[in-house]
Amino acid sequence: MMEHETAGDPITGLKWTRRTTEKIAGYLQILGIVVCSNTVARLLRELGYSLRVNQKKLSSGCGADRDEQFSVIAESRDHFDNRGDPVISVDTKKKEMVGNFKNQGTAYSKQPDLVNDHDFRSQAKGIAVPYGVYDVGANRGSVFIGTSSDTPEFAVAAIDKWWRLDGCKRYERSRNLLILADCGGSNGYRCRVWKYELQKVADRRGLSITVRHYPPGASKWNPIEHRLFSEISKNWAGRPLENFATIQNYIRTTTTKSGLRVKAYIERKQYAKGVSVSPEQMNELNIESPADLSQWNYTITPRKMGSYS
């Protein structure tokens, strides 16, 4: 009941829901569970939910389409779950400077770690770009630690590698994949390269790839934020990320009581910025969108092999 109504902070792990305690109590009574709203509030606190106050940070422009898109996402998740097809949540975690720099948070230790007094990027060994793929149904995460740039080509390469290493084994009979993504960044709905590269994956793997984008200002509802990224941040809190191996180790040792397990890979391939896809190349894509909210929802199906350059 709460699964599709939960959002969370990718750093602190705090969770919240769009439903009031009275509404939750009402739904529980329909299921034959009689509780009052105060009991619901106490149970939410025990489950890690937090009360939130209003903050004037959201820009206007989302409109009524926001709630409608949430309904589309919920229906798609249920549809894929019922068929046993994979649902993955993807995004890029906050980029990290690699080196002896202060990392936010606290940790129990006999002595504090001594770090640089200033965080100069010129002193960094590199910039880590962690792109995550979270398997919602299996509660499994894969993080690909890029060493160059956060580009659409890198994002799709991470998804393709996840399918090759994990997805095709866990869902060996599935030919359909649902991707939940934010509306911007390297996996944004306006990005031509993102869709062009997904078409290559669909052709190569024989997959029908459905994408559902969260509307603007709603990235916190993307499951990867509060189910994977927040747990990684808590695992390495207060620890300097001295090198890429350290980052990889903290990520792959991230676990939760609910059974989360995470794999981590260092991706050393260099991805160029500024790659463009022409309108003619876009016309070659085998992509379909519904009449409503077509900008945030589309499905890419395989073409004949060798049809792309």
pLDDT per residue over 204-262, tens digit each? 999 999 999 999 999 999 999 999 999 999 999 989 999 999 999 999 999 999 999 99
Residue 113: pLDDT over 50: yes
Q: Are residues 140 and 31 in the same domain?
A: no
For the record, the structure tokens of 261 come out as 């397990």
User: Is residue 140 located within the same domain as residue 225?
Assistant: yes
Whether residue 258 is contained in a domain is answered as yes
Q: Same structural domain for residues 124 and 235?
A: yes
Inform me whether the pLDDT recorded for 273 exceeds 50.
yes
Q: Are 76 and 86 a contacting pair, CB within 8 Å?
A: no
Please indicate, yes or no, if residue 110 is contained in any of the structural domains: yes
Q: Both 216 and 176 in a single domain?
A: yes
CATH at residue 130: 3.30.420
In this structure, the answer to whether residues 147 and 289 fall within a common structural domain is yes
**Claim to verify: residue 159 and residue 96 sit in the same structural domain:** yes
Q: What pLDDT is recorded for position 23?
A: 75
Q: Is 307 contained in some domain?
A: no
One domain, residues 193 and 44: no
User: Does 186 map to a domain?
Assistant: yes
Number of H helices, E strands in the chain: 10, 11
- In this structure, the answer to whether residues 71 and 137 fall within a common structural domain is yes
Residue type, 103: N
Q: Are residues 119 and 26 in the same domain?
A: no
Q: Residue 57 falls within a domain, yes or no?
A: no
Q: Are residues 138 and 37 in the same domain?
A: no
Instruction: Indicate the burial class of 73 (C-beta count within 10 angstroms; 0-12, 13-18, 19 or more).
Output: buried
Q: Has residue 288 been placed in a domain? A: yes
What number is the average pLDDT over the span 161-165?
98
Residues 146 and 233 in one domain: yes
In this prediction, residues 73-88 reach a mean pLDDT of 97
- Residue 306 belongs to some domain of the structure: no
Cβ atoms 212, 178 nearer than 8 A: yes
What confidence category does residue 309 fall into, taking pLDDT thresholds of 50, 70 and 90? very low
Q: Answer with the residue of higher pLDDT: 205 or 304.
A: 205
Each residue's pLDDT tens digit, 1-39: 556 656 666 655 555 565 677 777 777 788 788 878 788
- Average pLDDT along the chain: 88
pLDDT at residue 6, rounded to an integer: 63
What's the total number of domains in the chain? 2
d(C-alpha 236, C-alpha 105), whole Å:
8
- What is the domain range of residue 153? 64-300
Please spell the DSSP secondary structure of 53-108, one letter per residue. Answer: ---TTPPS--TTHHHHHHHHHHHHHHHHHHHT--EEEEEEPPPEEESS---SS---
Please choose, from the candidates 165, 125, 124, the residue with its C-alpha nearest in 3D space to the C-alpha of residue 144: 165
pTM, 2 dp: 0.79
Are residues 34 and 73 located together in one domain of the fold? no
- Is the pLDDT assigned to residue 41 strictly greater than 60? yes
Looking at the domain assignment, is residue 123 inside a domain? yes
